[in-house]
């Protein structure tokens, strides 16, 4: 009961913070919707159709980038959670949380799960607006995509925890985020298939192939269209575990560079 009380308290706090920041919700929707409408219109003629390997499922370009934009919502929200952590540390509320009787790792992972649930809510709202726009996925795909998006959100949130542990001032946060978000997003399969990347540049293809965000995007893409990628699942799961261990270690008072 004590652990449940702590977990529910952290979830309630994050939900109230999210509810009080309505602009955060609308920005999370407007950004991928603009990419879906404007960006896809410009590249539809260039790419035409895309292929989901290895099942050779042909879809149009809007349907291809839909999972990538869902992962984009999760990525931005995960990085915003690390921004809130830097703010909490400056205000002192993070210290109050970490000195509670519950284990430090449990508190941090509870925050990861709470932010992941909020990210899942934002991504689900984006899928709803995309469906209203006319870009649909199979009904069973929406159900299968929920755990895939939750796992991907947890991976990105634990990465955000690591960043939040090392960034000490809010003024330095914008530069760090630009250094993390845009390379992770553009050097992935969110906007282009990997085989298109390989045709353009071999070294860029190798970077995309080792990017954890690529596997999170592919996990959502396969799940959204009723398939399962075992490789993407295991890479995302192991990355989440690795980032979790690193995040918990980063918040130890005795840690050193």
Q: Say how far apart CA 227 and CA 253 lie, in whole Å.
A: 44
Please choose, from the candidates 123, 98, 121, the residue with its C-alpha nearest in 3D space to the C-alpha of residue 111.
Answer: 98
Non-local CB neighbours of 230 within 8 Å, separated by 6+ positions: none
Q: Are 157 and 115 in contact (CB under 8 A)?
A: yes
- Write out the two tokens for 179: 């250094």
The model's pLDDT over 21-47, given as tens digits with 9 standing for 90+, comes to 666 667 667 777 777 777 666 665 555
Q: Which pLDDT value is given to residue 147?
A: 93
Q: Regarding predicted confidence, which is higher, 173 or 241?
A: 241
Domain annotation covers residue 255: no
Mean pLDDT, residues 119-142 taken together? 85
Residue 70 resides in a domain: yes
Residue 48 belongs to a domain: yes
Q: Name the nearest CA neighbour of 83 among 163, 184, 7, 178.
A: 163
Q: Is the pLDDT of residue 52 over 60?
A: no
Instruction: Over range 104-111, report the average pLDDT.
Output: 82
Confidence of residue 173 (pLDDT cuts 50, 70, 90): low
3-state secondary structure of 125: helix
Q: Please count the CA atoms within 13 angstroms of the CA of 72 that sit on its side-chain side.
A: 26
200 has pLDDT over 60: yes
Average pLDDT over residues 137-162: 89
Spatial neighbors of 192 by CB under 8 A, at least 6 apart, are: 47
How sure is the predictor about 217, in pLDDT bands with cuts at 50, 70 and 90? Answer: very high
pLDDT digits (tens, 9 = 90+) for 72-91: 889 888 887 777 766 666 66
User: In this predicted model, what pLDDT tens digit does every residue of 7-18 receive, in sequence order?
Assistant: 888 788 878 877
Continuous segment of H or E residues that includes residue 51: strand 49-52
Stretch 229-247: mean pLDDT: 92
pLDDT, tens digit (0-9, with 9 covering 90-100), for 88-102: 666 666 666 766 777
Number of domains observed in the structure of the chain: 1
Domain for residue 49, yes or no? yes
**Position 55 confidence tier, pLDDT thresholds 50, 70, 90:** very low
Say if 256 falls within a structural domain.
Answer: no
pLDDT score, position 66: 85
Element (H, E) at 52: strand 49-52
In a domain, 63, yes or no: yes
Domain assignment of residue 257, yes or no: no
Q: Is the dihedral of CA 212, 184, 190, 108 positive or negative?
A: positive
- Here the tokens at position 141 are 């795909």
pLDDT value for 237: 95
Residue 209's domain spans which residues? 2-250
- Rounded to two decimals, the pTM is 0.83
232 domain-assigned:
yes
Distance CA 178, CA 36 (A): 21
pLDDT at 86: 64
């Amino acid at each position: 009961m004590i652990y449940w009380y702590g977990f529910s308290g952290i979830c309630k706090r994050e939900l109230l913070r999210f509810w009080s920041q309505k602009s955060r919700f609308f920005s999370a929707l407007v950004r991928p919707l603009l990419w879906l409408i404007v960006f896809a219109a410009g590249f539809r003629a260039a790419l035409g159709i895309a292929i989901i390997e290895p099942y050779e499922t042909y879809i149009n370009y809007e349907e291809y980038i839909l999972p990538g934009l869902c992962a984009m919502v999760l990525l931005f929200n995960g990085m915003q959670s690390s921004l809130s952590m830097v703010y909490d540390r400056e205000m002192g509320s993070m210290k109050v949380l970490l000195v509670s009787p519950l284990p430090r790792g449990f508190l941090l992972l509870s925050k990861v799960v709470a932010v992941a649930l909020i990210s899942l809510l934002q991504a689900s709202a984006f899928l709803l607006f995309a469906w209203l726009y006319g870009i649909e996925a199979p009904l069973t795909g929406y159900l299968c995509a929920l755990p895939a998006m939750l796992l991907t959100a947890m991976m990105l949130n634990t990465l955000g925890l690591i960043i939040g542990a090392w960034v000490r001032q809010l003024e330095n946060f914008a530069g760090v985020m630009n250094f993390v978000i845009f390379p992770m997003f553009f050097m992935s399969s969110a906007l282009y298939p990997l085989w298109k990347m390989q045709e353009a540049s071999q070294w860029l293809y190798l970077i995309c192939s080792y990017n954890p965000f690529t596997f999170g995007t592919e996990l959502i893409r396969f799940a959204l269209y009723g398939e399962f990628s075992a490789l993407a699942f295991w890479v995302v799961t192991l990355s989440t575990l690795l980032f979790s261990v690193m995040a918990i270690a980063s918040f130890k008072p005795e840690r050193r560079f």
